[in-house]
Amino acid sequence: MNKSLKEKIESTFKDLKVAIPEESRIAVTAENHSVLAILRFLKDAGFNHLALISAVDWIEDGFFELCFILTSYMQNNVEYTDSQRLHIILKTLIPREKPQCKTAIGIFPNAEPYEREIHELFGIKFEGHPRLTPLLLEREYEIPPFRKDFDTRKYVEDVFGNIPSVENNK
């Protein structure tokens, strides 16, 4: 099943790399502009569950990497063995200077909270997202806190270290 799906993806799209890092995993590395088309294709191929969107900050290469992890609900059925339960990881690189990507809400509606979270923690803007409002954080940060150039220790010293204790003042 892995092999046939791999050939199917490779024959449909150009400019992408398909690897099988281990059994029951497929890693697709694609260009930014073709991500939505690949997601649509994979959804039609039966991978109808977007399990996760995550981001990685490759600060030395100057890229953010977005990972979409797709599975299928049908694979939870009894007739599927463990080796047949397939996860597809779709990776794409976004330049760090211009962190923008098109939203995947049109294909997977449950992408909304993931994209809000990534927007908040990494500062990646998702075009077409209806509400990129704060989700988890309480305050504004100059640099989004999950980026590698965010200095947590300095931030903690500046913000929480400067708050005086109350009882020892007496």
Partner 1 sequence: MDRNKITKWLKEPAKMANKYSLHAIYFCTGCGIIEIPPVITARWDAERFGVIPAATPRQANLFLITGYVSVKTLRAIIRTYEQMPEPKYTVGFGSCPINGGMYWDSYNTIKHLDKYIPIDGWIAGCMPRPEAIFIAVTHLWTLIDKEMANGYIRYRKNYESYRRNQELALGKLEWPPLYKASEEPQGNEQ
CB of 145 to partner 1, least distance (A): 4
Tell me how far apart the alpha carbons of residues 104 and 100 are, in angstroms, rounded to a whole number: 13
Interface stretch with partner 1, choices 73-81, 101-109, 111-119, 133-141 (CB under 8 A): 133-141
36 alpha carbon, distance to own chain's centre: 13
**Cα gap 137→167, rounded to integer Å:** 29
Does the protein bind partner 1 through residue 139 (CB under 8 A)? yes
Q: Is 11 in the site for partner 1 (CB under 8 A)?
A: no
In angstroms, the CA 37 to CA 119 distance is: 22
Cα 151 to Cα 146, 147, 166: the distances in Å are: 10, 9, 27
Q: Which residue, 61 or 157, has its beta carbon nearer to partner 1?
A: 157
What's at 106, amino acid-wise?
G
Residue closer to partner 1, measured from CB, 7 or 157: 157
Nearer to partner 1, 99 or 144 (CB): 144
List interacting residues with partner 1 (CB under 8 A).
Answer: 136-139, 141, 145, 150, 152-153, 155-156, 159-160, 162-167, 169
